[in-house]
Amino acid sequence: MGTPPQLHAWVVALAAVVIHLSDLQTMAADSDAVVHAVATDRVVERDARGRIVTWTELSVIELRAPSPSKLSGETVWLAQLGGHLDGRSLVVPGAAQVEVGDEVVLFAVAMPGWPTVVIPHTHGAGLFRVIAGLAEQVGHITDAQGRQPEARIIDDLPTFWSQTGLPPR
């Protein structure tokens, strides 16, 4: 079990958010890396401003990047605002929930200056859970009219990877 990095000023603006659901190739090109990993630990704590933050440790199975990756190491930490701590909850609409043991594919955006800390590209739309070889979108996305589009499900990982356009490493 590792320890999540301590970010002293982690600023997230909360306002109306409009998310454009891109195809996998566009999301891959806009990400710092696409990471296939297993969640091995989760730590929930308060940041310097008192907000609940969930850190999920991801053990990297495979990492593909559109250019030299800004990420390093066999483990990355997924940082997400929200979680449950000391009987209190902070729920962020659309945020993907990752449990220890989940196998995921994450379109990752590196936190500047933190080579092992990432956030999901396009909020919850950039995280897919892998179940029996299928990749299913995890985030609960709602459009401007309050409708939830169907979650994207890709039949197998080789098809998923081919749709990203990223070569194997």
In degrees, rounded to 5, the angle at the alpha carbon of residue 11 between the alpha carbons of residues 10 and 16 is 140
Let me know if residue 108 belongs to a domain. yes
Helix (H), strand (E) at residue 128: strand 127-131
pLDDT tens across 108-154, in order? 888 888 878 888 887 667 888 887 666 665 555 555 566 555 556 66
Report the sign of the C-alpha dihedral through residues 45, 58, 70, 110, in that order.
Answer: negative
pTM here is 0.75
Let me know if residue 70 belongs to a domain. yes
Kindly give, in sequence order, each residue whose CB lies less than 8 Å from that of residue 68, ignoring residues fewer than 6 positions away: none
Let me know if residue 9 belongs to a domain. no
Question: Could you tell me which residue, 37 or 142, shows the higher pLDDT?
Answer: 37
Q: Over pLDDT 90: what percentage of the chain?
A: 18
Whole-angstrom Cα distance, residue 34 to residue 166?
9
Let me know if residue 88 belongs to a domain. yes
Total domains in the fold of the chain: 1
**DSSP one-letter code for 159:** H
**CATH classification at residue 64:** 2.40.50
Let me know if residue 13 belongs to a domain. no
Let me know if residue 91 belongs to a domain. yes
Joined together, the tokens standing for residue 118 give 């990432």
Mean pLDDT of the chain: 77
Whole-angstrom Cα distance, residue 1 to residue 24?
31
Joined together, the tokens standing for residue 124 give 């919850």
Single-letter amino acid code for the residue at 71: L
Nearest Cα neighbor of 81 from 110, 32, 57, 46 is 46
Q: What is the predicted pLDDT for the residue at 131?
A: 77
Range of the domain at 28: 24-164
Let me know if residue 96 belongs to a domain. yes
Q: What is the predicted pLDDT for the residue at 38?
A: 95
* pLDDT bucket at 11, cuts 50 / 70 / 90: very low
Let me know if residue 40 belongs to a domain. yes
Residue for token pair 């806009």? 30
- What is the largest distance, in Å, between two alpha-carbon atoms of the chain? 45
